[in-house]
Amino acid sequence: MSRGRRIAAAWSSLSARELTDQIRQAVKSRDADVREAWEVVRADQVLAARVRGALAGLRAEFRGHRDEAMWLLWISQAQQRLNRPVEPAAPEPEPEVADVVEEVVEVRPPDRPEPAPRADRPSVPTMVFQEPSGR
């Protein structure tokens, strides 16, 4: 029996308070053994319901706690591991592709006459600024 299976088997015989303490430690540790335990718990509906209740209690317990954000993240991840993956009811139909060749239409802008050349504008006389004479 693997360690994850042993953890899940031990959880099934614990009282609610002891289970909550064990779940708190499991949520915080997040190691490979605990991930395997979540998979085993997911398969057992009764134990999964008890663990979901313990997770809900932990979520309520850590509201207003200084580390609330981290605990809520860990608890949410544990709850997601307990949820069964959603399988589609039927395979997604593939859209039928019709072999239709569409005509390519070129859109050209209307013919416009060439703009008239611009007349040279008279240049503005250059102004030279001089330093004021030192009086």
Domain ranges within the chain, ordered by starting residue: 3-82
Instruction: Give this prediction's pTM.
Output: 0.59
The dihedral through the CA atoms of 30, 31, 35, 40 has a sign that is negative
Neighbours of 31 (CB within 10 A): 11
Q: What is the pLDDT of residues 1-33, one digit of tens each?
A: 688 888 888 888 889 899 999 899 999 887 888
Does the pLDDT value for residue 55 go beyond 90?
yes
